């Protein structure tokens, strides 16, 4: 018996109910609407039938109630809480990135905290662990991924997929990469007017051949901006990672960033905090730690806000040097490389926990 309810338990129970019309279970038959809500022991959701004249509606609803009481908890408040919908009334818009399982936004409250370094190394470390990974450089203020991956001069090609011409991501270190930086001259400053940046980002997301991915990592701009709004309106982001340094000013801005994701309008789960430049370690003395920006500020912020500390990344000269050479630190057998590989493991764990315990994130709908 489960005293703590979450959507995955409900779905598992409903796999025991078969629809008489085709013999498939309700999950297999895609008859469960993506609207499971849990409030204490009260559970509500909708079942979708093809038409209102379906002869099995009442019996299937009753069987679903019985399954939840039997396989989840006999005290679950479910009777009368299963709504019925019909497919002709359910408009299903085309899903953006249909082959992507998890979308992770990497953000920071301010610039200069190493957000892009964390995003690039996380993507590479996930790919090294055998996952299919895509990385979108959405930082319009300073797109740095082309340089970090050593592909600044790489041409962008088009793929033809099912009669559509799609942008082909650049592939390196097992990561599919697209960047706003590919759309502008690398040595020229660009002033984005109105919706230009948003439209360019939507093109890189929806008109690119990303294919099937386990993780789609987005390097977001620092702070809070229209670009963040565009991203949460365009994509259902699985979870956000907030990067900070131990400095008080960075921590204050990180707190604002977490508040943005947690707000009712955005409502994107925060997977955790990454404290970058947590200490300085000389490359030749990996056991030495010098807390030049303060000690443990990011960890204390995470505890205060009730989120996980996913990693404390040391400041090692090699991180910057490797990044400038287009070789992410996660590929190297160094202190920083190990830190990024451990970060990837923690992120996989955090995403799995989030998916097990929370319903899917919804895209933000603008209300005028």
Percent of the chain with pLDDT over 70: 91
Residue 12 DSSP SS3: helix
Looking at every residue in the chain, the average pLDDT score rounds to: 86
At residue 330's C-alpha, the angle toward residues 328 and 336, to 5°, is: 105
> What mean pLDDT is predicted for residues 223-251?
85
Q: What residue ranges of the chain are covered by domains with CATH 3.40.50.300?
A: 100-357
How far apart CA 361 and CA 365 sit, in angstroms, is 12
Whole-model pTM?
0.73
Cβ neighbours of residue 211 closer than 8 Å, sequence gap 6 or more? 99, 132, 176
Cα–Cα distances in Å, from 305 out to 89, 132, 329?
A: 41, 32, 30
Cβ neighbours of residue 333 closer than 8 Å, sequence gap 6 or more? none
pLDDT score of 141: 73
| Sign for the pseudo-dihedral over CA of 282, 137, 243, 119 | negative
- Residue 40 confidence class, pLDDT cut points 50, 70, 90: confident
- The verdict on domain 7-89 having CATH code 3.30.300.130 is yes
Adjacent-strand bridge partners of 166: 159
For domain 100-357, the CATH class is: alpha beta
Residue 196 DSSP SS3: helix
Adjacent-strand bridge partners of 170: 177
pLDDT score of 32: 92
Q: Is the pLDDT of residue 329 over 90?
A: no
Q: What residue ranges of the chain are covered by domains with CATH 3.30.300.130?
A: 7-89
Q: Is the pLDDT of residue 110 over 80?
A: no
Reading the block at residue 109, the tokens are 């409250």
Cα–Cα distances in Å, from 7 out to 25, 68, 165, 362?
A: 17, 11, 38, 15
Reading the block at residue 333, the tokens are 């057998």
Residue 36 DSSP SS3: coil
Read off the DSSP letter of residue 77: B
One-letter-per-residue 3-state SS of 83-137 = EEEEHHHCCCCCCCCCCEEEEEEEEECCCCCCHHHHHHHHHHHHHHCCCCEEEEE
How far apart CA 16 and CA 214 sit, in angstroms, is 28
Q: Of 54-63, 121-130, 154-163, which range is least confident?
A: 154-163
pLDDT score of 240: 95
The greatest distance separating any two alpha carbons of the chain, rounded to the nearest whole angstrom, comes to 75
pLDDT tens track for 284-298: 787 888 888 888 888
Reading the block at residue 311, the tokens are 């990693």
pLDDT score of 237: 93
Closest CA to 236 of 126, 90, 44, 104: 104
Residue 195 DSSP SS3: coil
């Amino acid at each position: 018996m489960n005293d703590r309810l979450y959507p995955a338990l409900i779905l598992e129970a409903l796999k025991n109910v078969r629809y008489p019309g085709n013999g498939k279970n309700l999950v297999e038959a895609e008859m469960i609407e993506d609207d499971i809500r849990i409030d204490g022991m009260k559970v509500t959701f909708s079942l979708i039938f093809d038409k209102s004249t379906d002869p099995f509606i009442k019996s299937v609803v009753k069987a679903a109630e019985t399954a939840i009481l039997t396989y989840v908890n006999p005290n679950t408040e479910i009777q009368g809480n299963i709504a019925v919908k019909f497919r002709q009334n359910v408009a299903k818009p085309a899903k953006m990135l249909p082959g992507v399982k998890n979308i992770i936004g990497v953000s920071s409250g301010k610039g200069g905290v190493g957000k892009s370094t964390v995003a690039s190394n996380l993507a590479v470390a996930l790919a090294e662990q055998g996952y299919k990974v895509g990385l979108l450089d959405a930082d319009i203020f300073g797109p740095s991924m082309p340089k970090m991956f050593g592909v600044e001069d790489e041409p962008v090609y088009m793929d033809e997929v099912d009669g559509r011409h799609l942008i082909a991501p650049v592939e390196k270190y097992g990561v599919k990469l697209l960047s706003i930086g590919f759309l502008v001259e690398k040595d020229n400053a660009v002033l984005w007017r109105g919706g230009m940046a948003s439209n360019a980002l939507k093109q890189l997301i929806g008109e690119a051949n990303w294919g099937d991915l386990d993780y789609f990592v987005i390097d977001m701009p620092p702070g809070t901006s229209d670009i963040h709004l565009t991203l949460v309106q365009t994509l259902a982001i699985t979870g956000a990672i907030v990067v900070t340094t131990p400095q008080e000013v960075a921590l204050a801005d990180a707190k604002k960033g977490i508040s943005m994701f947690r707000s009712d309008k955005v409502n994107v789960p925060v997977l955790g905090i990454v404290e970058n430049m947590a200490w300085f370690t000389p490359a030749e003395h990996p056991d030495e730690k010098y807390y030049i920006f303060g000690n443990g500020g990011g960890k204390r912020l995470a505890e205060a806000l009730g989120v996980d500390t996913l990693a404390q990344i040391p400041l090692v000269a090699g991180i910057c040097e490797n990044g400038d050479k287009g070789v992410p630190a996660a590929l190297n057998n160094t202190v920083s490389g190990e830190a990024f590989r451990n970060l990837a493991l923690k992120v996989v764990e955090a995403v799995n926990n989030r998916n097990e315990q929370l319903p899917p994130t919804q895209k933000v709908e603008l209300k005028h």
